[in-house]
Amino acid sequence: MKLLDGKAVSRELLKKVKADIDHYIEKKHLGYNLSRPSIAIVMVGHNAASESYVRGKIKACERAEINHKIIRFDESISTFDLISEIKILNKSHFDGFIVQLPLPDHIDPKPIINEISAYKDIDGFHPLNFGKMALGQKAMRPATAYGILKLLEYYDITTKSQHVVVIGRSNIVGKPISIMLGNDFEIGRSTVTSCDINTPKALLKEEAQKADIVIVAVGQAGFLTADMIKEGAVVIDVGINRLKSGKLVGDCDFEEVSKKAGFITPVPGGVGPMTIAGLILNTFEAWKMKHLIEN
């Protein structure tokens, strides 16, 4: 078994992004004096998990030397007022921004996400970006799914013609990773089976046991067990669950599954840092688009 070290891979990607930004700035692309990319992180209220995630995003910005600002609003802000603030950010100098989820219960996240300019949507959640991604066109990609692809690429794990089982159909992870791995991207061209916790257990087990790569994102500790995978399978554990003891675990029984898997992501330190790397890669793309920089 080999660990897929998202923390280490994320650091390497951030180092490359910084170097690429330095290159364009030093070259004075199109004769302009370019400023470094900048992002805003919108936070509503004080969700403890969100505070932790945002700290990780700030550290990543610092590694890539991307300017950043946290914009905070009281938990009582109305949907109307939050949308008004989003419209201001759409016209701001920031190259990209995110609205940290989850939002308070009285705010439906869908209209908030839809209001974000697709060109500044570094989370990759806007319907225009999602649609372009599904069609195989260049777009800001959903950050977690994008991070998973970059992790597979770094470890030279073949996806072409491989059988992939994705357990979970969320708009944030399950749907986009299923589409991206089945698409004709540089990492993709897989045969993908989409399942979730409502898939009959026997059928789910049957499908997962055939898979070369299993991606699990259901938010249930210990959901994927060793008897559900074949020997040498690649296991990508997207889940993050806090036990009563305070320990953070994923959606698979790591101790047992790791004995059978060929590759596996740890929790924490696997997909989480790669999600942030995906966010930074999207920021870099948004900055390049703004300044008409070609790849």
Would you say how long the chain is, in residues? Answer: 295
Q: Which two tokens stand for residue 199?
A: 């898939």
Task: State yes or no: is 137 an active-site residue.
Answer: no
Residue-by-residue DSSP string for the chain: -EE--HHHHHHHHHHHHHHHHHHHHHHTGGG--PPPPEEEEEEES--HHHHHHHHHHHHHHHHHT-EEEEEEE-TT--HHHHHHHHHHHHTSS-SEEEEPSPPPTTS-HHHHHHHS-TTTBTT--SHHHHHHHHTT-S-PPPHHHHHHHHHHHHTT---TT-EEEEE---TTTHHHHHHHHHSSSSS---EEEEE-TTS-HHHHHHHHHH-SEEEE-SS-TT-B-GGGS-TT-EEEE---EE-TTS-EE-SB-HHHHHHH-SEE--SSSSHHHHHHHHHHHHHHHHHHHHTT---
Task: State yes or no: is 227 an active-site residue.
Answer: no
Amino acid sitting at position 200: P
Q: Which of 100, 150, 251, 260 is catalytic?
A: 100
Q: Which of 5, 18, 57, 251 is catalytic?
A: 57
Task: State yes or no: is 220 an active-site residue.
Answer: no
Q: Which of 5, 123, 212, 237 is catalytic?
A: 123
What residues are annotated to the active site?
57, 100, 123
